[in-house]
Amino acid sequence: MARIDLEGVQHSYGNVEALEKFDLTWNDGGRYAILGPSGCGKTTMLNIMSGIIKPTQGRILFDGNDITNLQTADRNIAQVFQFPVIYGTMRVWDNLAFPLVCRNVPSDQIKTKVEEVANTLSLTHLLDRKANKLTADQKQLISLGRGLVRDDVAAVLMDEPLTVIDPDLKFRLRRKLKEINEQYRTTLIYVTHDQNEAMTFAEQIMVMDKGRIVQMGTPGELFDRPSTTFVGYFIGAPAMNVFPATVKQDHQLDVAGTAIDVEPNLQGAASETLKLGIRAEHISLQDDPKSNDNCLPFHVDRIDDFGNYKLVVGKASGQITKVKVDRNQPIASGEMFMTFKAKNCCVYANDRLISTS
């Protein structure tokens, strides 16, 4: 187990910059997710840590030791790939023991460790089976298990490990990963483009876009205070509603002629392009405009019933707006009013969040 620091790391493929220069620390025992759309540099980031790619600039430190120039095999990391990698000719037992056998660990220690890990991963009953006869999720557990048998592993890196797994098994495997993290305090770094996966798995999520780290925070922080409109758009289903706005007063925006109270101080923000962001979950719909909260006229276009909630799609101040409402609330077609609280408003200047303090 170790703390991983990335100092001034930057990477380019030829002339194409895949990762902008950044500094980053992964704390020991943390459970992290790297989230971003395809091609945002998340796999590059992972490969830099595992040593498959040497960064164009910068240093990588494991517990303060510079390991930038070490080969993958010499770094103490384990990696789980998108497709399960197993040694098909071996039994499950030998698969799990393989990393220890390669490191000449005494056989009694191997036995204890393999049995312990097999137990954690519920693979005990499969230990004598040939590895290539197992299902995809069992194989993926073996790949993971090969990382867990080693005591010296600094971090387990996972590159979309659940892509090939059936949805119901995905859920169970994710639980398993959390349990393992709690039991072994292994640093887990998990790359995914599925926000749901990231939100349910990680303590800290790092959102990336176009080679930049956009925001790092807990799932709650990412949901409530997306630091850019991109995060607001990328995290949450549906995406955050965004309205163009101008400054009216220090704590008031003007959205298409309507005054909207917000918490941050807007002094000095007048010259920039302002946007107001509100989550679909933070809006309620009503038939009359009477409210103590912010209120905008809302034109209902379509209602999608998702079973546990209704998603109302409509227009407010000319923008397509999505609102989540209780499925029992009657929604009139046509004109309604949407209300929302000032504390739930996020104000963006040039697509960056203006902080509340």
Partner 1 sequence: MRYGHKYVFLLPGLLVLIAILIFPVIFTVRLSLSGWNSYNPGLDFVGIKNYVRLFTSDPRFWEAFSRLAFFSLTTVFLQYILGFGLALLVWRDVLFKRFFRVLFLIPMMTTPVIMTVIWKTVFHESLGPVNDFLSMFGLTPLWLSDPMLSKVTVIIVEVWQWTPFMFLLLLAGLLSLPKEAFLAASIDGAGPLRKFIYVTFPLMAPISIGAIIIRLIEASKIMDTIYVLTSGGPGTSTETTSFYIFIKGLREFQMGYSAAMSFTYLIVMILSLTVIVNILIRVFIGRND
Q: By CB under 8 A, name the binding residues for partner 1.
A: 50, 52, 71-73, 77-79, 81-83, 85, 87-90, 98-99, 102-103, 130, 143, 146-147
Q: How far is the CB of 101 from partner 1 (least distance, A)?
A: 9
Q: Give the span between the Cα atoms of 128 and 124, in whole angstroms.
A: 9
Residues facing 10 on adjacent strands: 57
Provide the minimum distance between the beta carbon of 298 and partner 1 in the complex, in angstroms, as a whole number: 50
Give whichever of 117 and 276 is closer to partner 1, judged by the CB atom: 117
Shortest Cβ 161–partner 1 spacing (Å): 11
Q: Which of 87/309 has CB closer to partner 1?
A: 87
- C-alpha radius of gyration, the chain, whole number: 24
Shortest spacing between CB 99 and partner 1, in angstroms: 4
Distance of CA 120 to the CA centre of its chain: 25
Q: Based on CB atoms, which residue is closest to partner 1, 83 or 171? A: 83
Which is closer to partner 1, CB of 88 or CB of 334? 88
Q: Which is nearer to partner 1, 40 or 80 (CB)?
A: 80
We find the least distance from the C-beta atom of residue 282 to partner 1, in angstroms, to be: 43
- Least distance between partner 1 and beta carbon 32 (Å): 19
Q: Least distance in Å: CB of 35 to partner 1?
A: 22
Q: Which is nearer to partner 1, 130 or 193 (CB)?
A: 130
Nearest by Cα to 32 from 245, 216, 293? 216
Judged by beta carbon, residue 79 or residue 228, the one nearer partner 1 is 79
Q: Give how far Cα 247 sits from Cα of 130, 185, 263, Å.
A: 67, 48, 13
Q: Least CB distance from residue 44 to partner 1, whole Å?
A: 15
Nearer to partner 1, 77 or 208 (CB): 77
Q: Encode the chain in three state secondary structure.
A: CCCEEEEEEEEEECCEEEEEEEEEEECCCCEEEEECCCCCCHHHHHHHHHCCCCCCEEEEEECCEECCCCCHHHCCEEEECCCCCCCCCCEHHHHHHHHHHHCCCCHHHHHHHHHHHHHHCCCHHHCCCEHHHCCHHHHHHHHHHHHHCCCCCCEEEEECCCCCCCHHHHHHHHHHHHHHHHHHCCEEEEEECCHHHHHHHCCEEEEEECCEEEEEECHHHHHHCCCEHHHHHHCCCCCCEEEEEEEEECCEEEECCEEEECCCCCCCCCCCCEEEEECHHHCEEECCCCCCCEEEEEEEEEEEECCCEEEEEEEECCEEEEEEEECCCCCCCEEEEEEECHHHCEEEECCEECCCC
Nearer to partner 1, 99 or 264 (CB): 99
**Min CB(90)–partner 1 separation in Å:** 7
* Peptide bond between residue 289 and the one before it cis (omega within 30 degrees of 0): no
Q: Name the minimum Å distance from CB 150 to partner 1.
A: 9
Nearest to partner 1 of 89, 249 (CB atom): 89
**Biggest distance spanned by C-alpha atoms of the chain:** 76
